[in-house]
């Protein structure tokens, strides 16, 4: 028996009314995980917006653009695989993870140094924000460098460290991706002048005898 | 939208007996101080279970809630309304993505949540088991169901779980468009021809009883409710949410000289709204599968899963391993 619906489109799909219980769903929703950061205004730090799941970094980037930058102003997008980020434990609000963790003074930069991006969380429940870039020989060393450069910033309840080379970043010329916002005014509450319509209706109905 | 009147599992207090009392006290003190809980923090198993359940139901409600409205995109009057409704429905599906991710941080995989939805194990907001007969029904959903959802989401945004709060912040920002769009569409019909007024009045009559159940039955004062409120999983009682909703929106319906199908509905001298008790027996029947649209909603979702399987299969890479999101 086929499902009958008020919606003609659903009727055309010819969906069975009762799904066979034997139909086992294939495990296909377990793609890899990526974390996404956006720049909301020009010349402001990138901030964490959330994860996406995708088969690889490029597809993750496309999903991230759809998921996190289709609605509000955006000037840039960074995407990185979750496993490429290492993080500290969380500490209490108003404390600094730099002071509570035993982080040794950094060794001087060596030949093998590469760039790491440092993201800091100021308060639980808020979003990690890009603090800056350090040159370091590995994650641990990057954290030590970060302490030296950004350790004065208090509070800081959690830190994420990711190698810059592992982050897929939008480039300067990609910025025009996000220039279509003004064409979609119908997604903005201010586009709806409801009060005018209500007042006109009230005037009309109270003036009629 | 959505996710009013979440259905929590009954709390068995002996579940807490196994928890480390020192850690439990620290956990509760953190919430008491107004700090958020983050995914890596120690938390009682019961908290994890209830928060997963709440966020997952909310996510499913966004997905399923997109169906009764989505069916009207092609039939929305005029190009501008089609564009707006399309954008709104896309927002709702995006909300589900954000919410699934937040639930995943607690250890339930997306695979499992999808499976639990299409097998009928997980619940979603019961109002979406009712049909949208006309365009006017879809405008009532956009306005009043979203309004109810906003009351609920604004309360939950003050809750204790960090990733859920972050998701709700983005969601609430988008909801303000939904509310205005919905209100505008209802006002357009209500201030139009007598035929249009009749359409919107009939849609209101159909939707009012389900709307009154949106926040769920009155909470019983119990250890269950008490602990969910103490842990800031539940931020307001179902009745508090319902009262707030009535206070904000009944006057907005009445000012259009439309009526609501409840002769007892009024605000008393004490400022509390009185109303006919919703039919909780029907609510129970419908949520357990006996509604007009339960089958259709799940069938459409299952079909989407099946028809899209080849895409996901083609993109699947054995070396790309799923991990839970960071935050
Ligand atoms: Fe939503
Ligand atoms: Fe909405």
Residues A140-147, mean pLDDT to the nearest whole number: 94
Q: Do A125 and B162 touch (CB under 8 A)?
A: yes
* pLDDT tier, A154 (very low <50, low <70, confident <90, very high otherwise): confident
Strand partners, A50: A36
> Percent of chain B beyond pLDDT 90?
84
Which residues fall within 8 angstroms of residue B122, CB to CB, at 6 or more apart?
A: B56, B57, B60, B113, B116
User: In what side-by-side order are the strands of the sheet with A129-136?
Assistant: A86-87, A158-163, A114-121, A129-136, A47-54, A32-39, A76-81, A168-169
Q: What is the DSSP letter of B143?
A: I
d(CA B159, CA B164): 8
In the prediction, which pLDDT does A22 show?
A: 52
Q: Quick check: A188 contacting B, CB < 8 Å?
A: yes
- Which has more confidence, A208 or B64? B64
**What stretches in chain B show pLDDT beneath 50?**
1-3
Residues of chain A positioned with their CB less than 8 A from the CB of B114? 25, 29
B120: alpha, beta or left? (left if phi > 0; alpha if psi -120 to 50): left
Confirm or reject contact between A203 and chain B (CB < 8 A): no
- Give the closest ligand to the alpha carbon of residue B176: 2
Q: Locate A86 and state its tokens.
A: 């290492």
Q: For residue B138, give the nearest of B192, B202, B69, B208 by alpha carbon.
A: B69
Q: At which residue do the structure tokens 């300067």 appear?
A: A172
A76 forms beta bridges with A39
State the pLDDT at residue A9: 85
Q: Indicate if the pLDDT at residue A120 is higher than 50.
A: yes
pTM: 0.94
Q: A2 pLDDT exceeds 50?
A: yes
d(CA A36, CA A48): 6
pLDDT of residue B151: 96
pLDDT at A12 over 60: yes
Closest Cα in chain B to A15: B299
Distances, alpha carbon A26 to alpha carbons A30, B110, B111, in Å: 10, 13, 9
Q: Which residues does residue A52 pair with via DSSP β-bridges, in sequence order?
A: A34
Task: Using the predicted structure, report yes or no on whether residue A23 has a pLDDT greater than 70.
Answer: no
Question: Quick check: A28 and B313 CB within 8 A?
Answer: yes
Q: What are phi and psi of B18, to 5 degrees?
A: -80, -10
- The span from the CA of B17 to the CA of B37, in Å, is 21
Q: What pLDDT does residue B4 have?
A: 52
d(CA B261, CA B47): 40
Q: What is the pLDDT of residue B1?
A: 45
Q: Mean per-residue pLDDT for A31-47?
A: 96
The domain spans of chain A are 8-181
Residue ranges per structural domain of chain B: 13-290
Please give the Cα distance from B241 to B141 (Å, whole number). 18
Residue B250 vs residue A154, higher pLDDT? B250
Protein fold of B13-290: Ferritin (1.20.1260)
Cα distances from B1 to residues A20, A77, B57, B71, B195, in angstroms, run 31, 26, 12, 17, 29
Check CB contact under 8 Å for A32 and B322.
yes
Which of A33, A191, A201 comes nearest B325 by C-beta?
A: A33
Residue with tokens 């991706």: A177
> Could you give the CA distance from residue B164 to residue B155 in angstroms, rounded to a whole number?
12
Q: What is the pLDDT of residue B222?
A: 76
B141 alpha carbon, closest ligand:
2
Whether residue A6 and residue B324 make contact (CB cut-off 8 A), yes or no, is no
pLDDT, one tens digit per residue, over A60-102 is 999 999 999 999 899 999 999 999 999 999 999 989 999 888 8
Using the beta-carbon criterion (under 8 Å), do B110 and A28 form an inter-chain contact?
Answer: no
Looking at chain A, list the stretches that DSSP marks H as alpha helix, in order from N- to C-terminal side: 8-13, 57-69, 97-100, 139-150, 194-207
pLDDT value at residue A21: 61
Q: B interface mutation test: which of A3, A4, A6, A37 has the most B CBs within 10 A?
A: A6
Distance in angstroms (rounded) separating the CA atoms of residues A65 and A39: 12
Mean pLDDT (chain A) is 91
The 3-state DSSP class for residue B8 equals coil
- For residue B165, the model assigns a pLDDT of 97
Check CB contact of A62 with chain B, cutoff 8 Å: no
A108 to chain B, minimum CA–CA distance in Å? Answer: 30
Structure tokens at A56: 């690889």
Best mutation target, B32, B67, B314, B320, to test chain A (most A CBs within 10 A): B320
The DSSP call for residue B278 is P
Q: Do A17 and B316 touch (CB under 8 A)?
A: no
The rounded distance, in Å, linking the Cα atoms of A147 and A131 is 11
DSSP 3-state of A179: helix
């Amino acid at each position: 028996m086929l499902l009958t619906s008020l919606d003609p489109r659903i009727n055309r799909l010819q969906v069975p009314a009762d799904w066979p219980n034997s139909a086992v769903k294939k495990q296909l929703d377990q793609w890899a995980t990526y974390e996404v950061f956006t720049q909301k205004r020009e010349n402001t730090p990138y901030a964490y917006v959330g994860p996406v799941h995708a088969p690889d970094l490029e597809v993750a980037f496309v999903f991230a653009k759809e998921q996190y930058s289709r609605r509000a102003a955006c000037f840039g997008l960074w995407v990185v695989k979750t496993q490429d980020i290492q993080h500290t434990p969380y500490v209490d609000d108003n404390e600094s993870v730099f002071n509570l963790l035993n982080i040794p003074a950094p060794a001087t930069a060596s030949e093998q140094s590469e760039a790491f991006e440092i993201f800091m969380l100021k308060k639980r429940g808020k979003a990690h924000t890009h603090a800056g870039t350090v040159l370091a020989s590995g994650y641990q060393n990057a954290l030590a460098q970060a302490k030296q450069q950004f350790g004065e910033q208090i509070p800081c309840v959690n830190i994420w460290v990711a190698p810059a080379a592992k982050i897929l970043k939008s480039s300067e010329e990609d910025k025009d991706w996000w220039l279509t916002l003004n064409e979609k005014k119908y997604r903005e509450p201010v586009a709806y002048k409801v009060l005018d319509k209500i007042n006109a209706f009230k005037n009309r109905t109270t003036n009629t005898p | 939208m959505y996710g009013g009147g979440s259905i929590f599992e009954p709390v068995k207090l002996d579940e807490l007996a196994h928890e480390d009392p020192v850690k439990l006290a620290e956990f509760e003190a953190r919430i008491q101080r107004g700090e958020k809980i983050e995914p890596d923090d120690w938390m009682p198993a019961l908290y994890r279970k209830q928060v997963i359940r709440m966020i997952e139901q909310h996510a499913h409600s966004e997905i399923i809630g997109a169906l009764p409205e989505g069916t009207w995109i092609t039939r929305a009057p005029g190009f501008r309304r089609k564009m707006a409704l399309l954008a709104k429905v896309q927002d709702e599906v995006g909300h589900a993505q954000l919410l699934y991710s937040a639930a995943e941080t607690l250890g339930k995989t997306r695979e499992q949540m999808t499976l639990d939805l299409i097998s009928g194990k997980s619940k979603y907001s019961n109002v979406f088991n009712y049909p949208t007969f006309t365009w006017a029904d879809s405008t009532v959903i956009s306005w009043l169901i979203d309004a109810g959802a906003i009351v609920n989401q604004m309360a939950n945004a003050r809750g204790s779980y960090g990733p859920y709060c972050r998701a709700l912040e983005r969601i609430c920002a988008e909801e303000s468009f939904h509310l205005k769009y919905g209100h505008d569409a209802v006002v357009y019909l209500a201030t139009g021809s007598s035929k249009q007024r009749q359409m919107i009045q009939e849609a209101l009559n159909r939707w009012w009883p389900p709307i009154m159940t949106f926040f769920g039955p009155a909470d019983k004062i119990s250890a269950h409710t008490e602990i969910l409120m103490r842990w800031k999983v539940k931020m307001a009682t179902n009745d508090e949410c319902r009262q707030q909703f009535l206070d904000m929106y009944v006057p907005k319906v009445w000012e259009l000289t439309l009526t609501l199908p409840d002769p007892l509905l009024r605000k008393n001298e004490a400022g509390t709204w009185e109303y006919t008790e919703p039919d909780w027996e029907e609510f129970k029947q419908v949520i357990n599968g006996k509604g007009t649209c339960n089958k259709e909603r799940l069938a459409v979702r299952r079909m989407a899963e099946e028809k899209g399987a080849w895409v996901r299969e083609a993109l699947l890479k054995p070396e790309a391993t799923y991990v839970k999101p960071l935050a």
